[in-house]
Amino acid sequence: MKQDKQPRRQPTRLKDFDYAAANKVFFLTLCSRDGQLIFTHVALNADVIECIKEERKRVGHAVYVYCIMPDHLHLLSSPLESGISVIQFMGGLSSKITRLLWKYGVGRGKQLQRSFYDHVVRKEENLRQVAEYILNNPVRKGLVAGWEDYPFCDLLDPLPL
């Protein structure tokens, strides 16, 4: 009997949840593999931001806030009326970011974790506070005094308050 090399992973998504539901807001995190500091090149990060903007437009999702940190990125996003799930959105984005990483010589093979983390923002949560939490990530890490000073985070679409 042949054994699997990797242990089976537990499902990370909510069972029977509609990840394409219009106007559900998701707090998404895409991490580098093994915590590597891969988002450290200014030009790469600028291209990742353009990639986020292009993918949001291509699939019809809103991206309210983004923040690219050296070892991960955060998005606050919603499928809107596109019918395209956040899983498909992140799969396409992850694939495009991987190709950018290769282009910039960050490495070959898989540079990002196999999946992404998602948190469905619930009605009782304050959306503005979630957005501020994401934007203030570089402040908490001591990279800048104020999020406005960090070139790799910003607001794109108006928050649906």
If you write DSSP's letter for every residue of 74-85 in order, what string do you get?
EEEEE-TTS---
- Tally of domains in the chain: 1
Q: Which domain holds residue 122?
A: 26-155
Q: Where are the beta strands (DSSP E) in 47-121?
A: 62-69, 72-78, 117-120
- In order along its 161 residues, the chain shows pLDDT tens digits of 455 454 554 556 567 778 899 889 999 999 999 899 999 999 999 999 999 999 999 999 999 999 999 999 999 999 999 899 999 999 999 999 999 999 999 877 788 988 899 999 998 899 999 999 999 999 999 999 999 999 999 999 999 98
Task: Indicate the pTM of the whole model.
Answer: 0.87
Residue with tokens 């559900």: 24
Q: Which CATH number characterizes residue 75's domain?
A: 3.30.70.1290
Report whether 131 contacts 159 (CB < 8 A).
yes
Domain annotation covers residue 116: yes
Domain annotation covers residue 87: yes
Domain annotation covers residue 18: no
Report whether 157 contacts 64 (CB < 8 A).
yes
Q: Cα–Cα distance between 137 and 66 in angstroms, integer?
A: 10
Domain annotation covers residue 42: yes
Domain annotation covers residue 1: no
